[in-house]
Amino acid sequence: MANFFSYYGNGTNNEAESRAIMEGISLCKSLGYHNILILTDSNLCFKWFYKLFKIPWPLRVWWKRIWDIAATCQVTVEHTYREGNKAADHLASLGIKHKGDGAANCHVDINFKQFLVGIEDAFSVNADSEVMPDSSMTDANGDDSDKQAAEKIPEDNGLFGEVSNHKAPANGTINIQDLETKVSSYYSLQAQFPLIYTISLAKNSTISALRTISEGEGVWDLRLRRNRFEWEDEHFRHLMTLLTGYVVEEGDDMWRWKEGNHGVFSVRSMYKLLREQSSMHNQVTNVTFPASLIWNQNMPAKVKFFFWTVMHNRTLTVDNLIRRGSLLSPVCSPCGCINESITHLFLHCTVSLRIWKEMTIPVAATYQQLFAVDSVLLWLQNWKGGHQQEWAARLWKLLPYATIWIIWKARNSKIFKGKELKVDKVCNEIKATLWFWCANWGGRKRFRFRDLIINWEQVIRGQIEPE
């Protein structure tokens, strides 16, 4: 078990509580945690997280950052009432060593847990008082590893260490807001020092633009747009201490890909990394995106991208356009009866149903299944294989994609060009599209396009023999 602590001094304030939550969530997210449980005896933190109280302006920077991070994770908060303030005693009961003078100096106890099967790691954040932390990482035995972590960062690694996969030379062109540091809690300087970042005019400046050499020493100028307030001085001093602790190299930027051999990027290594991340995400959410339903199909690239938007509910049907602020009639254009949505337009619209019925006549049971699904994804997943004949099987496999694609094109032609949507014409265009998509199959030359138009049922049933 690994434990993370942040210590803020001897007093107690809400800014310290907020910073503790932000720091802990950032750490958990950076290490791949998706489901996070927060146990806190701070009533204000509990209510601010769920926006039950208006956030005081000095804390808004922290809480905006917290909500931004929490938006990509499943974060829940439970308020724990203890007799007196027993956060330190609670940590002690877990066998966790901590700094401070006991329970009286300990105000927030936040417990972060990952709910992945087979993994029992947990993180705890303990904070009290002042804004800026002296953060430390401890292992299960309570050993302090601040010094060990610092020693692992080579001086020639540049300003922001090796987390960002490159060195940061003095004349570098790396944006400060995009870099991450291994010092403290594994998150960017923008996240560590949001108050200083907010008042800086050099948010996108390069390292060389902010650092000059004076009397043989590096001098940093963050170009603040105003004088610092008193509560910002401690932030600024901590940032300057952090920056001056690095040795910045002269020379050009050097990029290094840590997932590949010898620091060289390769598509294979990126694909492997994405597969591993996808596998971890699927374990947490129990949802697997059906990539094979889209990218492994014999269709033009633009059609694949269209189905990608369909799966993500991003296709610009009327309901999505209205959601984006357009002033439009919500009624479906083809049928004129019900509000248009992706599922309605492609599956349950009366015009679409007539098209599906006509195209699935060779396998009548398929049309009946259409009424049992409520999404395009389920419809494609439940689409059964066709006849054993290769020509018939290829056509049947691509039929739902061609049908949805042509329905979309016909709908757009009616809206933007005023063309009438005729079912028989749409069906013929679907067959022509299938013929075109099978052009790269050598066996197509043994069949005739005329049979698709005139003898559709016989073709799908495998009754048309190759010439």
Sorted by where each starts, the structural domains of the chain and their CATH numbers stand as 3-151 (3.30.420), 157-255 (no CATH), 291-460 (no CATH)
Confidence band for 282, pLDDT divided at 50, 70 and 90: low
- 139: phi then psi, degrees, rounded to nearest 5: -90, -170
User: What count of other Cβ atoms lies within 10 Å of the Cβ of residue 453?
Assistant: 14
Better pLDDT: 51 or 362: 362
Confidence band for 66, pLDDT divided at 50, 70 and 90: confident
User: What count of other Cβ atoms lies within 10 Å of the Cβ of residue 276?
Assistant: 11
pLDDT of residue 87: 46
39-48, 125-134, 219-228, 273-282: which range is least confident on average? 125-134
- pLDDT greater than 50 at residue 247: yes
184-188, 243-247, 332-336, 340-344: which range is least confident on average? 184-188
pLDDT of residue 216: 75
User: What count of other Cβ atoms lies within 10 Å of the Cβ of residue 158?
Assistant: 25
- pLDDT greater than 70 at residue 426: yes
By the 10 Å C-beta count (0-12 exposed, 13-18 middle, 19+ buried), 189 is classed as buried
Q: Three-class SS of residue 294? A: coil
Better pLDDT: 20 or 146: 20
pLDDT, the chain, mean: 72
Which helix (H) or strand (E) segment is 78 a member of? strand 74-79
- 438: phi then psi, degrees, rounded to nearest 5: -90, 10
Better pLDDT: 177 or 193: 193
pLDDT of residue 79: 58
Confidence band for 42, pLDDT divided at 50, 70 and 90: low
Q: Return the top range by mean pLDDT from 26-40, 97-111, 222-236, 347-361.
A: 347-361
- pLDDT greater than 70 at residue 379: yes
Quick one: tokens of 224? 């603040």
CB 28 within 8 A of CB 56: no
- pLDDT greater than 50 at residue 113: no
Confidence band for 344, pLDDT divided at 50, 70 and 90: very high
Confidence band for 449, pLDDT divided at 50, 70 and 90: very high
- What residues contact residue 444 under an 8 Å CB cut-off, 6+ apart? 391, 435, 438
Mean pLDDT of 164-187: 36
**Predicted confidence (pLDDT) per residue in 288-325, tens digit:** 667 788 988 999 999 999 999 999 999 999 999 999 88
pLDDT of residue 13: 59
How far apart are alpha carbons 186 and 181 in whole angstroms?
6
Instruction: Report pTM.
Output: 0.48
pLDDT of residue 258: 83
- What residues contact residue 171 under an 8 Å CB cut-off, 6+ apart? 206, 207, 208, 250, 251, 252
Report percent pLDDT > 70 for the chain: 64
User: What count of other Cβ atoms lies within 10 Å of the Cβ of residue 250?
Assistant: 9
92-106, 206-220, 342-356, 369-383: which range is least confident on average? 92-106
Q: Three-class SS of residue 317? A: coil
pLDDT of residue 65: 75
Report percent pLDDT > 90 for the chain: 32
- pLDDT greater than 60 at residue 165: no
Q: Three-class SS of residue 255? A: strand
